[in-house]
Amino acid sequence: MGACTATPADDSWQALRETCMRRGCSEAQMESVLNACRMRRLSAAEAGRLMIPVTSATTESLPADCLFARIEEGLAKNVDVDRIESAVQRRLECLRTAQQIFSDLKPRGNGHGPMGGPPRLIGNMALALESGVDPEVLSSVFGHKGPMRYGRLAHIIDAAESLHLAGLDSDQLRRVMNDFLERNMNRQEMCRVVKVLQKGLGAGKPFEDLYVSMWSVDEIREKE
């Protein structure tokens, strides 16, 4: 008999669902996250706290996929709600910064408006920022003269993150990013450069030595 009666807790979850849907959340992603919250025995109020940055993102036309992912990651790793909440909030701030950089200096020849840039590019920029890449480095990429494709920019941003995590400072990173653009390198070529630098830095070689010898194609092949 009691099975058919909605409890106040059920009502709270339903209200949370409706609020998220009203604010533009993807139903599938929302259900997946809310189910994960229930599995972790979170209350609807706690789940609601986690969803606030997500609904902020959707109302600001920012891609919310990486925020859902952040909540799921925290829940899977049994992190407490406060830490997940601040991690999601931090990622939202990175998304906002990425969107701002994109809006201020969006590459020429592309038709996106000031809001709602390409989701994958904005998402990757946000993750690079979260990893500690200097926003100025990303601005310098977007400020580069000449038409650029978003797909290629996304690869450059990914490369910037990898190289930052390998230990390059902002000036070094800016130089390499600029070389990628000036030399009109494709993804595979960029990957080779990243591998050479990662390997060299991992072996304790100074960046300057690697940089000087890097642009010889034969040398890159040799080092691989």
Binding site for other proteins (CB under 8 A): 32, 68-69, 72-77, 79, 83, 87, 90, 118-121, 124, 127, 130-131, 149-151, 153-155, 158, 161-162, 165-166, 186-188, 191, 195, 198
- With respect to other proteins, which residue has the nearer C-beta, 7 or 77? 77
How far apart are alpha carbons 190 and 156 in whole angstroms?
8
End-to-end CA distance of the chain: 69
In angstroms, what is the minimal distance from the CB of 151 to other proteins? 5
Cβ–Cβ < 8 Å for 23, 57? no
In angstroms, what is the minimal distance from the CB of 107 to other proteins? 11
- With respect to other proteins, which residue has the nearer C-beta, 9 or 165? 165
Sign of the torsion formed by the C-alpha atoms of 139, 126, 132 and 176: negative
- With respect to other proteins, which residue has the nearer C-beta, 12 or 61? 61
- With respect to other proteins, which residue has the nearer C-beta, 52 or 69? 69
Cβ–Cβ < 8 Å for 74, 107? no
In angstroms, what is the minimal distance from the CB of 58 to other proteins? 18
In angstroms, what is the minimal distance from the CB of 1 to other proteins? 34
How far apart are alpha carbons 154 and 224 in whole angstroms?
24
CA-atom Rg of the chain in angstroms: 21
Cβ–Cβ < 8 Å for 181, 144? yes
